[in-house]
Amino acid sequence: MKRRDFIRLASMAGIGASAFSWAGIARSATPAQLGTVPTNTGITGRVVVIGGGMGGATVAKYLRLWGGSGVSVTLVERETAYTSNILSNLVLNGQRTISSLQYAYSNLATRYGIKVLKGEVMAIDPVGHSVALADGSKLPYDRLVIAPGVDFDTFAGLESPTAQALVPHAWKAGPQTTQLRNMLLAMKPGEVFAMTIPAKPYRCPPGPYERACVVADWLKKNRPGSKVVILDANPGIIAEPVAFGNAFNVVHQGVVEYHPGVTINSIDATTMSLNTSIGNLKAKVINAIPPHKAGKVVVANGLANAGGRWAGVDVLTYQSTAAPGIHIIGDASATTQPKAGHIANQEAKVCADAIVRLLAGRSPDPSPITNSACYSPITSDTASWLTAVFAYDPASGTMLPVPGASGEASARSTENYKEMTKWFNTLMEDSFA
Ligand SMILES: Cc1cc2nc3c(=O)[nH]c(=O)nc-3n(C[C@H](O)[C@H](O)[C@H](O)COP(=O)(O)OP(=O)(O)OC[C@H]3O[C@@H](n4cnc5c(N)ncnc54)[C@H](O)[C@@H]3O)c2cc1C
């Protein structure tokens, strides 16, 4: 399959055949034609979705499109709008603003009849089938979907809010991203930008390497003599090794200094220094990306049964292996697929299809397929890409890469850079429009 076909199919993968027939929609329908909530499916149920990010917004929308108006969907989100992490590295070089990455929830409410509630879910009662919000109110559910994204560990030395404020991770797009951009602008020629990469799994495997490239490219043009020092906890580049290996050794040679297998012992925000397994390093800017775990609502409610950090799920339904009736999608779940926005969108569709079937008293699709595409800027006008297709493997009960259907760009190009915007807009429309 060609890369363009992946992109074209991106918004369709994960769709189960019977969801279409229940909804009375032809299988060949285009995404635009799918934009109406059917009234005649005969399926009823109350679904609460926690978190309106890449996974939560998509599952809410497709539950209504495939389940119909009898499936009431309430989406609880603590922010007023969603800020995309995808492309947020381009805020650092000034090519994007944070506001250009923001998505309102109004389409989900007006076009699909989703009840959007601003609030934070604190507690889940899996026996009584309800969730409790921070304001004390409760919401009953027949099925609960949790899509809270990730939370972060704290580096030794950065325990106080004051220290944390001086060392932004900017791994959740928003004010920290703008702060990191401002810190970059304040650098003088010859100064060091140090960044740390946590051991996998973390969200967006190529993301930190992409960030290093974007920053290196900007420093080379605007702060000559400056360097990006990468301290990677992993034994080597874990995504797009060809593209990033070339970027570090050739394109940004002399600007990027890459160190694999590094442990961060502590960070001192007052002296801007890192104590690491390969020695001490002082920098003008420290961008320390901490190890990740599932969002707090998962961990606090006893659903992080995969190593105490991630939610174990059955990938046919994304139902928690710790509590029936609760589905966990996106970055918070432990699957063999990468923690990525595109995958969160795909998991959401498999999950929506499974819930609709379960509400109708049927079995989930036994052979879901998901895919992922990701573009990585290498300079301000070139990018590489990475794609993967995953299929359910009944023997292992996991999603495994389809042989021959995955790959990365052989070289960066300006065409890739242009297609990156198309891919991004298509994905975000599929989730939020
Ligand atoms: C710099 C960067 C670049 C990236 N680039 C790419 C890329 O190119 N391609 C790609 O596919 N992925 C990329 N990603 C990864 C992608 O952003 C995540 O994988 C994706 O956002 C995960 O979706 P999610 O729904 O699990 O979580 P999120 O999108 O983080 O959404 C979680 C939502 O839940 C809300 N929430 C959490 N807890 C509660 C609660 N208790 N109550 C109410 N609301 C709650 C949050 O406010 C948030 O809106 C990138 C990430 C970063 C940091």
Q: Which of 254, 288, 322 is the last residue of a domain?
A: 288
* Atom 53, ligand 1: residue with shortest CA distance: 171
- Region 135-146 average pLDDT: 98
Write down the pLDDT at residue 189: 98
Res. 32 pLDDT band, cuts 50 70 90: very low
Q: Three-state SS across 20-45?
A: HHHCCCCCCCCHHHHCCCCCCCCCCE
Q: Do 169 and 230 belong to one domain?
A: yes
- Region 303-321 average pLDDT: 98
271-303 tens-digit pLDDT: 999 999 999 999 999 999 999 999 999 999 999
Percent of the chain with pLDDT over 90: 91
Q: What is the mean pLDDT of the chain?
A: 93
Q: Do 278 and 304 belong to one domain?
A: no
- Region 196-225 average pLDDT: 98
Nearest ligand 1 atom to alpha carbon 51:
34
Q: Do 263 and 335 belong to one domain?
A: no
Between the CA of 341 and the centroid of ligand 1 the distance, in Å, is 7
The whole model's pTM is what? 0.93
Between the CA of 222 and the centroid of ligand 1 the distance, in Å, is 31
Nearest ligand 1 atom to alpha carbon 84:
17
Task: Classify residue 305: in a domain, yes or no.
Answer: yes
Task: Classify residue 375: in a domain, yes or no.
Answer: no
CB within 6 Å of ligand 1 — which residues?
50-56, 76-79, 82, 85-86, 88-89, 120-121, 147-149, 171, 203-204, 207, 295, 297, 330-332, 339-342, 344, 374
* Atom 38, ligand 1: residue with shortest CA distance: 148
Q: Which CATH number belongs to the domain containing residue 159 in this structure?
A: 3.50.50.60
Task: Classify residue 107: in a domain, yes or no.
Answer: yes
Write down the pLDDT at residue 27: 27
Write down the pLDDT at residue 4: 41
Write down the pLDDT at residue 410: 86
First to last CA, the chain: 27
Q: Which of 257, 288, 319 is the last residue of a domain?
A: 288
Q: Do 54 and 122 belong to one domain?
A: yes
Task: Classify residue 397: in a domain, yes or no.
Answer: no
Over 70: is that where the pLDDT of 1 sits?
no
Task: Classify residue 4: in a domain, yes or no.
Answer: no
Q: What is the rounded distance in angstroms from the CA atom of residue 341 to the CA atom of residue 354?
A: 20
416-432 tens-digit pLDDT: 999 999 999 999 999 99
- Region 384-407 average pLDDT: 96
Res. 35 pLDDT band, cuts 50 70 90: confident
Res. 9 pLDDT band, cuts 50 70 90: very low
- Region 81-104 average pLDDT: 98
> Where is average pLDDT lowest: 11-25, 129-143, 321-335, 354-368?
11-25
Total of domains in the chain: 2
Which one of 331, 345, 385 would you pick to mutate in the ligand 1 pocket, going by the greatest count of ligand atoms within 8 A of its CB?
331
Write down the pLDDT at residue 24: 25
Q: Which of 245, 261, 288 is the last residue of a domain?
A: 288
Q: Do 167 and 241 belong to one domain?
A: yes
Task: Classify residue 273: in a domain, yes or no.
Answer: yes
Is 386 in a helix, a strand, or coil? strand
* Atom 31, ligand 1: residue with shortest CA distance: 53
Q: Do 134 and 178 belong to one domain?
A: no
Nearest ligand 1 atom to alpha carbon 427:
11
Q: Do 139 and 177 belong to one domain?
A: no
Task: Classify residue 6: in a domain, yes or no.
Answer: no
Is 397 in a helix, a strand, or coil? coil
Q: Do 120 and 33 belong to one domain?
A: yes
CB 379 within 8 A of CB 412: yes
- For residue 176, what are the domain limits? 154-288
Over 90: is that where the pLDDT of 8 sits?
no
> And the tokens for 206?
């190529």
Over 50: is that where the pLDDT of 166 sits?
yes
Q: Do 312 and 261 belong to one domain?
A: no
For residue 334, which of 240, 399, 406, 401 has the smallest C-alpha distance?
399
Q: Do 110 and 200 belong to one domain?
A: no
Task: Classify residue 387: in a domain, yes or no.
Answer: no
* Atom 17, ligand 1: residue with shortest CA distance: 85
Q: Do 113 and 159 belong to one domain?
A: no
Between the CA of 430 and the centroid of ligand 1 the distance, in Å, is 15
Between the CA of 191 and the centroid of ligand 1 the distance, in Å, is 31
Over 50: is that where the pLDDT of 366 sits?
yes
178-210 tens-digit pLDDT: 999 999 999 999 999 999 999 999 999 999 999
- Region 37-66 average pLDDT: 97
Q: Under 8 Å CB-to-CB from 130, ≥6 apart: which residues?
A: 124, 138, 139, 140, 141
- Region 65-82 average pLDDT: 98
Q: Do 333 and 270 belong to one domain?
A: no
229-277 tens-digit pLDDT: 999 999 999 999 999 999 999 999 999 999 999 999 999 999 999 999 9
